[in-house]
Amino acid sequence: MRKHIVAGNWKMNCNFNEADELVNDIMSRLEEDQLPRETLMVVCPPFPYLEMTTDYANDSYFMVGAQNVSDREKGAYTGEVSAEMLESMEIDYCIVGHSERRAYYGETDQTVAAKVDQLLKHGLKPIVCVGEVLEERESGKQFEVVQRQVEQGLFHLTAEQMREVVIAYEPVWAIGTGKTATPEQAQEIHAHIRSLLAAKYGQNVADDISILYGGSCKPSNAKELFACPDIDGGLIGGASLKADDFVAIAMSF
Ligand code: 13P
* CATH classification at residue 225: 3.20.20.70
Q: What are 93's strand-pairing partners?
A: 65, 125
CB 112 within 8 A of CB 153: yes
- The amino acid sitting at 105 is Y
Q: Which residues line ligand 1 (CB under 6 A)?
A: 9, 98, 170, 175-176, 214-217, 235-239
Q: What pLDDT, on a 0 to 100 scale, did the predictor assign at position 147?
A: 98
CB 130 within 8 A of CB 96: no
The verdict on whether 4 is a catalytic residue reads no
Q: What pLDDT, on a 0 to 100 scale, did the predictor assign at position 1?
A: 81
Report CA(138)–ligand 1 centroid distance (Å).
21
Q: What are 168's strand-pairing partners?
A: 129, 212
CB 75 within 8 A of CB 82: no
Phi-psi region of 132 (alpha: psi -120 to 50; beta: other; left: phi over 0): beta
CB 170 within 8 A of CB 235: yes
Strands (E) in the chain, as ranges, are 4-9, 39-44, 62-66, 93-96, 125-130, 166-169, 211-214, 233-236
Q: What pLDDT, on a 0 to 100 scale, did the predictor assign at position 169?
A: 98
What average pLDDT values come out for the chain (253 residues) when binned by 10 residues? 95 98 95 84 98 93 97 98 98 98 98 98 98 96 98 98 98 93 97 98 98 97 97 98 97 94
Q: What pLDDT, on a 0 to 100 scale, did the predictor assign at position 18?
A: 98
Burial class (CB in 10 A: 0-12, 13-18, 19+), 202: exposed
Residue closest to 25 by CA, chosen among 50, 60, 62: 62
Report CA(57)–ligand 1 centroid distance (Å).
22
Per annotation, catalytic residue among 100, 170, 190, 192: 170
**Mutate which of 94, 127, 170, 180 to test ligand 1's pocket (most atoms within 8 Å of Cβ)?**
170
| Total domains present in the chain | 1
Taking the C-alpha atoms of residue 249 and residue 234, their distance in angstroms, rounded to an integer, is 8
Residue 24, domain extent? 4-250
